[in-house]
Chain A
């Protein structure tokens, strides 16, 4: 009788063992990803397409070290601002229309939205200014945006907000805040989709 019991136990043990082995072979890709801790050299990938837009080295770091952001100043039509905004007061006919009349400011809540000097430097118009009074370059506007939108900035640094330019490999170059968002009216406008879908066969 005991012999039978022992053999039963042995059999149970064997079945259990084979089950656990079976479970081990059912490894998910998630485990493989978690175990991949070696750094991958992104620059080892030969690239066919280079980033052509002007980019500058960011003043912050992401998990892989330094990275680049798309430059902004070259895209501002009438930069430098100080070519008009000098110490001397200027009186011009239809001044508002000729200068910044096209800007619709829709940033912040409806009743108490932001005004120009909330972001622009009140004296030195070639720069932005944050709430601590630091001068901020137009190319590094993420430093300014991030003081309110810190969650977005955190995600942007990591790579969950915004996106890389052209390549997933190679040196990391990402879109700046103002590449996608109009800083004066940052929400995307409603519009018709680019195409439509038909039923699947």
Chain B
């Protein structure tokens, strides 16, 4: 994507969001005054032992009044990331390394899934759950694998809850996840502009701007989005510490989440967790703008199709057969 296009999008995003800033700034000013007032009150009667909770209160207060991610300068992004890291330390005693690194120039991510090769072992699913800090209690999964009858290409006809020895003869397996549509209907449905398409093609959610209305979930024709009904529960030793603000940081309760092509990995040149875990090599990931990439080879030389292409959502996720 050209830098001009990116610039235009940024300006548009800014103008859309800037409208409410006067009221926000007013509230922010008010809140700072209130915080100062309450701090002055509490210092008198609460002993110093509770300093950590005062710090937490202050951080949470600042977090509450931060801007939408797309309007933040890099300094503001760094500041919120630092606050979130500190809050994670204070709340859960977790040392996380959070980043807010930007998209790479000249990169548009794309994905291809080989329905001939997938044998339904679901190792992609476990890798994804672990990498993205998904809630273990409700068994939230971004990826679904469907056991399909030959000749069928619509996953709704398949069995998405199989648990037996795989592969079963005369069946094939088809994985779904967020398809990162170029014309993503979910982003249009969001009333708070908390979800958008990044210049490298990844559809992301600002978890702190999401109000949990689930309009995007209803708008997605691929069932690609998940909702946190409760606070995600993850065993402490299993938490992935390397995180991204728009990626796998632990979501608060009542927020939407979805596959981000492992933004915390892919923006550092690494493969998404599902691709790395796949034991059969059914998953291909790469830069669509690079004519020498694997994904471009697949698009050029293989029979490919996209799911529900007629809807015009333009997903960047292709299925192919050998």
Q: Footprint of B on A, CB under 8 Å?
A: 26, 28-30, 32-33, 36-40, 42, 45-49, 62-64, 151, 155, 158-164, 166-170, 175, 180, 188, 190-201
Chain B, residues 204-226, CB within 8 Å of chain A (1/0): the string is 00000000000000000001000
- Given known pairs A28-B314, A160-B114, the reply for A198 and B287 (CB within 8 Å) is no
Chain B, residues 258-292, CB within 8 Å of chain A (1/0): the string is 00000000101111000110111101111111111
> Nearest CB to that of B105 among chain A residues?
A44
12 contacts between A and B (CB under 8 A): A29-B108, A33-B288, A36-B289, A39-B290, A63-B297, A160-B294, A160-B301, A161-B281, A175-B281, A188-B279, A193-B162, A194-B122
Interface of B is mostly: loop
| Alpha-carbon distance between A146 and B278 when the two chains are bound, in angstroms | 22
Question: By CB atoms of chain A within 10 A, which of B269, B301, B316 has the most?
Answer: B269
Q: Would you call B96 an interface residue if the criterion is a C-beta within 8 Å of the partner chain's C-beta atoms? A: no
| Alpha-carbon distance between A196 and B285 when the two chains are bound, in angstroms | 24
B125 to A168, Cβ gap below 8 A? no
Q: Would you call B187 an interface residue if the criterion is a C-beta within 8 Å of the partner chain's C-beta atoms? A: no
B123 neighbours in A (Cβ, 8 Å): 194
A164 to B294, Cβ gap below 8 A? yes
Q: Footprint of A on B, CB under 8 Å?
A: 1, 104, 106-108, 110, 112, 114, 117, 119-123, 125-126, 129, 138-139, 141, 144-145, 160-167, 182, 201, 223, 227, 229, 266, 268-271, 275-276, 278-281, 283-299, 301-302, 312, 314, 316, 320, 322
A39 neighbours in B (Cβ, 8 Å): 290-292
Interface of A is mostly: loop
B122 to A193, Cβ gap below 8 A? yes
B125 to A195, Cβ gap below 8 A? yes
Counting residue pairs across A and B whose Cβ atoms lie within 8 Å, the total is 169
- Given known pairs A48-B270, A169-B269, A190-B166, the reply for A160 and B320 (CB within 8 Å) is yes
> Nearest CB to that of B223 among chain A residues?
A200
| Alpha-carbon distance between A201 and B291 when the two chains are bound, in angstroms | 40
A46 neighbours in B (Cβ, 8 Å): 268-269
| Alpha-carbon distance between A64 and B294 when the two chains are bound, in angstroms | 10
B297 neighbours in A (Cβ, 8 Å): 63, 158-160
| Alpha-carbon distance between A112 and B271 when the two chains are bound, in angstroms | 40
Q: Which one, B163, B165, B291, B293, contacts A159 given CB within 8 A? A: B293
Chain A nearest CB: distance from B174 CB in Å? 13
B275 neighbours in A (Cβ, 8 Å): 163, 168
Chain A nearest CB: distance from B260 CB in Å? 15
B121 to A194, Cβ gap below 8 A? yes
| Alpha-carbon distance between A62 and B292 when the two chains are bound, in angstroms | 9
